[in-house]
Structure 1
Amino acid sequence: MQDGLKRLALVMGGLARIALWIAGGGLVLMTVFVFAQVFVRYVMNDSLHWAEPAAVMIMAWFIFLGAAVGVREGYHLSFDVLLYFLPKAVAPWLHTISDFFVAAFGFGMAWYGWSLAARAANDLMPGLGISRGFEFAPLISGGTLLVLFSIERVLRRAAGLHTARFGEDAPEEPETTTTGA
């Protein structure tokens, strides 16, 4: 079972890496579009009618993809004060409950994003001339990745594997003792 989960972690790590590359490329592309718009507006006294809506759409992609990878990697926002007061044996249970809530939230993102995309599919985005349904693709993709990555975290924790970074097993950190001087 652990070998299967390790393969799953490698696949999910690859998926996370692809999502990060897309997000990083989107950040660069958005920056180029905004720079081009500013240059054309203030230097050439004209406007690129497609630059702003394209930049906003690209921003949605890197936000939702980056957030999903952040959940997988354990970098998402959390409130850990309770973990300091409870026994260490309770922490995996609380993390698992948190992962189930994140998965439910991701499912809602994907489900309602799909519903919104279906409703907006016949309308066109001003400036880009493409279906408004594409506006919700980052929401659907990010929600789907949240579900996948959260389930992976729960499965790996249940099998006794540490949450990995990009599909590699994280080594167990040795406990250190401090001496008073």
Structure 2
Amino acid sequence: MINRILDRLEETLIITFMAAATLVTFSAVMMRYLGGSGISWAQELTIYLFIWMAKFGAAYGVRTGIHIGVDFVVNAVRPSIRRLLIIAAMSLGVIFTGVIAFFGGRWVIFIYGTGQISPDLEWPMWIIYLAIPFGSGLMCYRFIQAMMLFFRSGHIHTHTYGEEEDREIDVIHEQEVRS
């Protein structure tokens, strides 16, 4: 249940950030094209929206199996070694994203203490930097989820298209509900 809510929240945030960035950019260009001065803070907001979108998008990529991976070596070795390589890769993913989330959290605390604000929007920078611990923390959680799925079933998330994707997601959620 909590995973389904987290899945929808993740997807909603990604869509919202992307749509907002597109709308802000389009509006700024149209205002400038129509002879106005444009929106002075549009570029800064668009950059921040894309940063947040990318951090949550990376977690989504791990969850759905669309994250870029080099699997040539993994697919070329025998199954016993393949299992070790997959576990090692996922473990490194957990460690790396966990470390980034931890130090990202420390960075947010540091920036909060400095009172820095963004140049055009004049927003507190610590809020903008929250993308690092939130996005990396979620990505770490997704790596842990993927590793647990691998331990339970021997399968890793793979991305398929259309109806197959829907069936795969349903199977994964059914497995999560059972456990």
- Which bracket does the TM-score occupy, shorter chain normalised? 0.7 to 0.9
Gaps of 5+ in 2: 158-167, 174-179
After TM superposition, the structure 1 stretch with the greater mean CA deviation from structure 2, 24-33 or 103-112, is: 103-112
- Give the structure with higher Rg (CA): 1
Corresponding pairs, count: 162
SS of the equivalent of 1:23 reads helix
In 2, the alpha carbon distance for the partners of 1:60 and 1:44 equals: 30
Tell me the equivalent position of 1:175: none
Distance 2:75 2:47 in 1: 40
Q: List runs of 5+ in structure 1 lacking aligned partners.
A: 1-9, 171-181
Among candidates 55, 59, 69, match of residue 64 of structure 1: 55
Change (3 A) 1:15 1:133: same
- CA 1:16 to 1:37, structure 2 compared with 1: closer, same or farther past 3 Å? same
Structure-2 change in CA distance of 1:83 and 1:163 (3 Å): closer
Q: Counterparts of 1:104 and 1:140 in 2: how far apart (Å)?
A: 14
| 1:78 correspondence with 2:69 | yes
Report which stretch shifted further, 153-162 or 140-149: 153-162
Is 1:169 aligned to residue 172 of structure 2? Answer: yes
Paired position in structure 2 for 1:131:
124
2:133 aligned to which of 129, 140, 145: 140
Aligned residues with identical type, % of pairs: 18
User: Do structure 1's residue 91 and structure 2's residue 94 form an aligned pair?
Assistant: no
Cα deviation for residue 157 of structure 1 reads 1.7
> Following TM superposition, by how much is the alpha carbon of 1:162 offset from its aligned partner in structure 2, in angstroms?
3.7
Q: Distance in 2 between matches of 1:148 and 1:29?
A: 26
Give the counterpart letter for 2:18 in structure 1: L
Contact 1:57 1:135 in 2 (8 A): yes
Residue 168 of structure 1: SS of its match in structure 2?
helix
Structure with more of its chain in helix, by fraction: 2
CA separation of 1:102 and 1:24: change in aligned 2, threshold 3 A = same
Which residue is equivalent to 2:146? 153
**Is this contact kept in 2: 1:92–1:157, CA < 8 A?**
no
The one of the two structures with greater contact order (alpha-carbon pairs below 8 A, sep at least 6) is 1
1:19 is the counterpart of 2:10: yes
Q: Report the residue type matching 2:118 in the other structure.
A: M
- TM-score of the superposed pair, with normalisation by structure 2: 0.80
Matched, 1:31 2:34: no
TM-score (norm 1): 0.79
